[in-house]
Amino acid sequence: MCIKTCIQDILYEIDQCKSIYELNLVKTKYLGKKGYIFKQIKRIKKLNIHERKKFSIKINKIKKTVVNQIYWKKKNFLALGNKLVQEKKMIDVSLSSQENNYGSLHIVTQTVRKIKSFFSKLGCKIVFGPEIEHKYYNFDALNVQKNHPSRNFQDTFWFNKNYLLRTQTSSVQIRVMEKEKPPIKILVPGKVYRNDSDLTHSPMFHQIEGLIVDKKINFSNLKWMMENFLLYFFEDKIKIRFRNSYFPFTTPSMEVDIFNKKSKEWLEVLGCGMVHPFVFNNVNIDISKYSGCAFGIGIERIIMLKYEISNIRSFFKNDLRLLRQFK
């Protein structure tokens, strides 16, 4: 086949193509590694120096012409396809699909909702309060003495001598008990702030506190709630231990531990107790008629224990490698 006849035949085949698929077959036939043009290029080294120059010019001219013709033909196919899609609203199945990346709720939000779901079924109402709090609600009304370490500037973020970033959501309990009469069943989620930062502590973290005030509320009621909540949350048969502890606003007070099967250690998960009579006196609730129990849960801490996350700062880094595990 002479060069002149060859270029005419190739251009004719390109012109007769009815689809991109047929065009790709022609491209492979003439421009592929086993194609006609590639074979002609390999012949160059067998020619003498005078013939080599002339033949190289001709074959490169053919190659350039074929590449250009294929490019414009393909462009016409794509333009025609887009026009049909727009006119007939067709789906172009030749287009590559794109992966849909769906977002999800943060694991802290998921956990708050899970806890709210459990205690809502027990009749608890969800309430919120201010994060900038007066010392009366954060300390005084909760029976926290003036010499208590949590009042120090080293432990708490103070704005002035009266206002601070709340260190616990218990302050909302005081606000509710001032306005409402028993029976009271509330759950208080929110951010709290303490001047502490390491692998297991953050200056800002999330907490949920619960309060139940009614006639004949006793320690057994509290223990039953804590046991059933932990079994519900950890979704497993776990060993639970109650230890005596001290909190200014509850008496008796206790901390609840779960047994870690891997480390063979007891790990603290929450604190709770019966509401201190002094707290009831501060909000004018008659302790001869009513009693109450309260509990506090650190959200990040309970997530870390459940999913074995070692660094609390992981929750605030927006690391997709961590967040995608909780979709």
Domain end position, chosen among 26, 61, 88: 88
CB 186 within 8 A of CB 124: yes
Does residue 125 sit in the same domain as residue 76? no
pLDDT band at 24 (very low <50, low <70, confident <90, very high): confident
Distance from C-alpha of 52 to C-alpha of 204, rounded to nearest angstrom:
78
Residue-wise pLDDT tens digits, 96-139: 666 677 778 889 999 999 999 999 999 999 999 999 999 999 99
Q: Is residue 99 part of a domain?
A: no
Mean pLDDT score across all residues of the chain: 86
Residue-wise pLDDT tens digits, 153-162: 888 999 999 9
**Residue-number span of the structural domain to which 167 is assigned:** 107-326
Give the full edge-to-edge strand order of the sheet including 265-275: 125-126, 184-193, 204-214, 291-298, 265-275, 250-260, 240-247
pLDDT at 274 > cutoff 70: yes
pLDDT (0 to 100) of residue 242? 94
Q: Is residue 102 part of a domain?
A: no
Q: Is residue 141 part of a domain?
A: yes
pLDDT at 93 > cutoff 80: no
Question: In this prediction, what percent of the chain has a pLDDT beyond 90?
Answer: 48
Residue-wise pLDDT tens digits, 33-77: 777 777 877 777 777 877 877 778 888 888 888 888 888 888 887
Phi, psi values for residue 23, rounded to 5°: -65, -40
pLDDT (0 to 100) of residue 125? 95
Does residue 262 sit in the same domain as residue 172? yes
**For residue 181, how many other CB atoms are within 10 A of its CB?**
10
Phi, psi values for residue 76, rounded to 5°: -65, -40
pLDDT at 279 > cutoff 60: yes
Counting beta carbons within 10 angstroms of the beta carbon of residue 288, is it exposed (0 to 12), middle (13 to 18) or buried (19 or more)? Answer: exposed
CATH of the domain at 239: 3.30.930.10
Does residue 39 sit in the same domain as residue 119? no
Give me the number of domains the chain comprises.
Answer: 2
